[in-house]
Chains A and B, each alone.
Chain A
Amino acid sequence: MIDARTSFKIRKLANPILFSAIALLIIALGLSFLCLQERGLRKQAGMEMQAVAALRAKELSEWHLARLADGRVFDRNTDFADTYRTLLSDPSNAAAKGRLLTWMSRFHEQYRYNRLLLFSPDGELMLCIPEGNIDDPALSALAAAPVGLDSVRFKDFYRNTSDSRIYLSILVPILEGINPGLLAMRMDPEQSLYPSLTRWPYLSSSPETLLVRIEGADVAYLNPLRFDPHAALRLRFNIAENPRLPAAQASSGNTMQFSGLDYRNVPVIAALSPVEASPWFVVTKIDLAEVEQNNQGTRIMVLALVLALLGMEAVGFLMLSKHWQIKVLALEAEEAARLADIEARNSQALNDINAKLEETVEHRTAELKTSNAELEAFAYSVAHDLRAPLRSIDGFSSILQEEYEPVLGEEGKRLLRIIRESNRTMDELISNLLEVSRVSRVELKMSMVDMRLLALKAFKQCAEAEAAADFEFALGELPMAMADDILMERVWVNLLSNAIKYSMRSPVHRIEIRGYLQDAMTVYVVKDHGAGFDQRYVDKLFGLFQRLHHSDGFKGSGIGLSIIKRIIERHGGTAWAEGQLGQGATFYFSLPRRE
């Protein structure tokens, strides 16, 4: 029983810890799920970027090759070269001029070249399609000094100083030799390249494609950017100083996807791909924020799930806790019931005992009442019924004595006297018996009693009755007593009359009275110098009708001490005596001290 309760208490104690642990586990699981999810998303975004970059690079590469192929149409083209040569020798040859323009216009139509420009070997613009006044100093310079221009090649993105526009051109040497002459097929990237670069396969807010090239220690941006429309050929970063810049990775040849900070210093996921047979690198990138924004739903879902799980856990624990609580309560209730049962049984037993006790007390009280009533009835009966015949005996003896005196003679009168004397004794015995009975039955009326005053009063009463005025009465200080004064007076009267009676024939007529305190009792002492008694028979002294002296020696029924003993005992005290034959007697009685 106790073990089970303890274990439940331990479990109860362990609840919060277990609850927290599980809650933490749920949160950790949620977070790690989100982490994995986001890592996956980032990876996926990276792969997307990589795919787009690769695709763009391939497109650009093909576009690049296609443009070179366009150029090669004029390279080693004997017809075009011959016609060019003819025109060089005769600038007014309209036929030659017309033939060259036909070639050039065909290509202009075929592909959206900005312009096709034909320069003379000394760098002078000969023909231009579409026709117009055109100034491109960079191309002119190249035509004048065509260093290494032995085959068709690209003039990469450059800004034309005369119109501040960005162009790129395919340079085609026309003739053999050191000054071959130049056909420049100029393209405006705004028309031919940039639109395809800004295209994105799906609707999205942040992803873009960058075209960059390495220029010494820098990386240069070649196209206008989504967030910086004037970046082309203007924006550049030092590679060494910007290791986290995706475009800067171009120099390392790293083609993997990666995350970093773009030109705006915004975290991005990016991929890099070199464009084959060109100095370009394609960088595709998307803002990390956008990737993560795509995850917002998942995040909310995971958060909701975590909260739901926590809620469920809380509910579960609450239920479990309640369950345990109920179990503990049940156990406690069981225990309480067991204790209550024991208590009930105990109290039942106690009640039984009490009831029995009460019953016994009641029974005894009833018995006592009955016996008291019986005693009273007995005493009454004694008083009336025993006395009546005595009265008759005495009355009729008296009448006999008086009215038949002459017949009786002296002896007859003596016998009648004996009858009447015995009758009187009998009456006295009955009186004493009744007195003993009354002393035992009467209700005590307690009050503070001046024992000295009482003793003095009793002595005067006795002295007068016994005609013993010549007695010396040595009355010392006596403590007050809480007692019934009528009964106490009887005690003193009985003791003093005894003392006087037994001192009458002694030479010393002296009665000493004193009192003292002993523990919780007050002891009163009456000492005389009379006949005394044999200490051996002291036990008989206080017995009913016991007399140590013969009746012819001293008058009395011997009932006095018996009455004293009863009165003192009813007050909760004791009475005793010391004596020596012929040396007087000392009587003691004690009473409980009460304040």
Chain B
Amino acid sequence: MDINTAVDILLVEDNPNDAELTLRALKKNKLTNTIIHVHDGEEALDYLFAKGKFTGRNISASPRLMLLDLKLPKVDGLEVLKAVKADPRTAMMPIVILTTSREESDMMRSYSTGANSYIVKPVDFTKFIDSVKEIGFYWLLLNEAP
């Protein structure tokens, strides 16, 4: 895929199984138009700010939605969240935290840093599909970008 292709969803997920299940869930909900999947926080920031292997990408063409896991190798999810919300070029992009942590502290930190939504990935795949469906519909179809 050309790096300047406009994407709808940026999925940041290190666990390949979880990533596959998320992609399947998105596919099941017909939300698979343009998805880019990166495996850690550094790669996510590289993509967003056109660095590293994504050098030359048009920064202003932000994804319409980022699905962000919190526990990531190298740069963790909260730091990615912070960096994205601190830069005016990316600050308006909706970010949905997609994590397994039920810790209240994680949730509070995420919301206070600017996360737009916080979803605990259920173990039950059926429930997970339902959650992803809700997210997709809300942030991609209903939510009007400013």
Binding site for B on A (CB under 8 A): 379-380, 383-384, 387-392, 394-399, 423-424, 427, 431, 434
In contact, B21 and A380 (Cβ under 8 angstroms)? no
Identify the interface centre among A384, A394, A395, A399: most chain B CB within 10 Å of its CB. A395
Residues of B within 8 A of A389 (CB): 17
In contact, B102 and A391 (Cβ under 8 angstroms)? no
A526 to B45, CA, bound (A): 56
Residue on B nearest A427 in the bound complex, by CB: B123
Closest 7 CB pairs of A and B: A398-B125, A395-B125, A392-B17, A395-B21, A427-B123, A387-B100, A390-B123
B134 at the interface (CB under 8 A from A): no
In contact, B102 and A434 (Cβ under 8 angstroms)? yes
* Interchain Cβ contacts within 8 Å, total number: 54
In contact, A395 and B100 (Cβ under 8 angstroms)? no
A137 to B21, CA, bound (A): 189
Residue among A388, A395, A431 making CB contact with B128, cutoff 8 Å: A395
In contact, A380 and B103 (Cβ under 8 angstroms)? yes
A-B contact pairs, 8 of them (CB 8 A): A379-B103, A383-B103, A387-B123, A388-B100, A391-B123, A391-B128, A392-B17, A431-B102
Residues of A within 8 A of B15 (CB): 388
In contact, A394 and B17 (Cβ under 8 angstroms)? no
B60 at the interface (CB under 8 A from A): no
Identify the interface centre among A392, A423, A431: most chain B CB within 10 Å of its CB. A392
Q: In the complex, how many angstroms separate the beta carbon of B116 from the nearest chain A beta carbon?
A: 22
Residue on A nearest B129 in the bound complex, by CB: A398
B85 at the interface (CB under 8 A from A): no
Residue on B nearest A393 in the bound complex, by CB: B123
Residue on B nearest A423 in the bound complex, by CB: B123
A388 to B102, CA, bound (A): 13
Residues of A within 8 A of B102 (CB): 383, 431, 434
B57 at the interface (CB under 8 A from A): no
A392 to B121, CA, bound (A): 11
Residue among B24, B99, B100, B124 making CB contact with A394, cutoff 8 Å: B124
Q: In the complex, how many angstroms separate the beta carbon of B23 from the nearest chain A beta carbon?
A: 11
Residue on B nearest A391 in the bound complex, by CB: B123
Q: In the complex, how many angstroms separate the beta carbon of B16 from the nearest chain A beta carbon?
A: 9
Residues of A within 8 A of B125 (CB): 391, 394-395, 397-399
In contact, B123 and A384 (Cβ under 8 angstroms)? no
B101 at the interface (CB under 8 A from A): yes
In contact, A383 and B123 (Cβ under 8 angstroms)? no
Identify the interface centre among B71, B99, B102, B122: most chain A CB within 10 Å of its CB. B102
B112 at the interface (CB under 8 A from A): no
Identify the interface centre among A383, A423, A424, A431: most chain B CB within 10 Å of its CB. A383
A-facing residues in B31-69 (Cβ within 8 Å): none
Residue on B nearest A426 in the bound complex, by CB: B123
Residues of A within 8 A of B121 (CB): 387, 391
A548 to B99, CA, bound (A): 36
Binding site for A on B (CB under 8 A): 15, 17-18, 21, 24, 71, 99-103, 121-126, 128
Contacts A391-B21, A391-B121, A394-B123 given; does A383 touch B101 at CB 8 Å: yes
Q: In the complex, how many angstroms separate the beta carbon of B38 from the nearest chain A beta carbon?
A: 18
A383 to B122, CA, bound (A): 11
Residues of B within 8 A of A424 (CB): 123-124
Q: In the complex, how many angstroms separate the beta carbon of B127 from the nearest chain A beta carbon?
A: 9
A434 to B123, CA, bound (A): 15
A274 to B35, CA, bound (A): 170
Would you call the interface of chain A mostly helix, strand, loop, or mixed?
helix
Q: In the complex, how many angstroms separate the beta carbon of B11 from the nearest chain A beta carbon?
A: 15
In contact, A384 and B21 (Cβ under 8 angstroms)? no
Residues of B within 8 A of A431 (CB): 102
Q: In the complex, how many angstroms separate the beta carbon of A426 from the nearest chain B beta carbon?
A: 8
Q: In the complex, how many angstroms separate the beta carbon of B76 from the nearest chain A beta carbon?
A: 12
In contact, B126 and A392 (Cβ under 8 angstroms)? no
Identify the interface centre among A379, A380, A389: most chain B CB within 10 Å of its CB. A380
In contact, A383 and B17 (Cβ under 8 angstroms)? no
Residues of A within 8 A of B99 (CB): 384
A373 to B61, CA, bound (A): 41
Residues of B within 8 A of A397 (CB): 125
In contact, B18 and A392 (Cβ under 8 angstroms)? yes
In contact, A398 and B103 (Cβ under 8 angstroms)? no
In contact, B24 and A391 (Cβ under 8 angstroms)? no
A397 to B125, CA, bound (A): 9
Residues of B within 8 A of A427 (CB): 123-124
Residue among A384, A394, A396 making CB contact with B101, cutoff 8 Å: A384
A399 to B24, CA, bound (A): 9
Residues of B within 8 A of A394 (CB): 123-125
A396 to B122, CA, bound (A): 14
In contact, B103 and A388 (Cβ under 8 angstroms)? no
Contacts A398-B125, A398-B126, A427-B123 given; does A388 touch B17 at CB 8 Å: yes
A532 to B15, CA, bound (A): 47
A427 to B123, CA, bound (A): 7
Residue on A nearest B99 in the bound complex, by CB: A384
A424 to B122, CA, bound (A): 10
Residue on A nearest B24 in the bound complex, by CB: A399
A424 to B103, CA, bound (A): 19
In contact, A391 and B126 (Cβ under 8 angstroms)? no
Q: In the complex, how many angstroms separate the beta carbon of B89 from the nearest chain A beta carbon?
A: 31
A387 to B103, CA, bound (A): 13
In contact, A384 and B100 (Cβ under 8 angstroms)? yes
Q: In the complex, how many angstroms separate the beta carbon of A522 from the nearest chain B beta carbon?
A: 29
A368 to B15, CA, bound (A): 33
A424 to B127, CA, bound (A): 12
If A383-B101, A387-B123, A388-B100 are given as contacts, then 10 extra A-B residue pairs at C-beta distance below 8 Å, sorted by A number, are A380-B103, A384-B99, A387-B100, A391-B122, A391-B123, A391-B128, A392-B18, A394-B125, A395-B17, A398-B125
Q: In the complex, how many angstroms separate the beta carbon of A405 from the nearest chain B beta carbon?
A: 15
Residues of A within 8 A of B128 (CB): 391, 395
Residue on A nearest B106 in the bound complex, by CB: A380
Contacts A392-B18, A395-B125 given; does A384 touch B24 at CB 8 Å: no
A14 to B14, CA, bound (A): 100
Q: In the complex, how many angstroms separate the beta carbon of B146 from the nearest chain A beta carbon?
A: 33
Q: In the complex, how many angstroms separate the beta carbon of B49 from the nearest chain A beta carbon?
A: 27
Residue on B nearest A379 in the bound complex, by CB: B103
Residues of B within 8 A of A392 (CB): 17-18, 21
In contact, B126 and A380 (Cβ under 8 angstroms)? no
Residues of A within 8 A of B124 (CB): 394, 424, 427
Residues of A within 8 A of B123 (CB): 387, 390-391, 394, 423-424, 427
Residues of A within 8 A of B17 (CB): 388-389, 391-392, 395-396
Q: In the complex, how many angstroms separate the beta carbon of B17 from the nearest chain A beta carbon?
A: 4
Q: In the complex, how many angstroms separate the beta carbon of A418 from the nearest chain B beta carbon?
A: 15
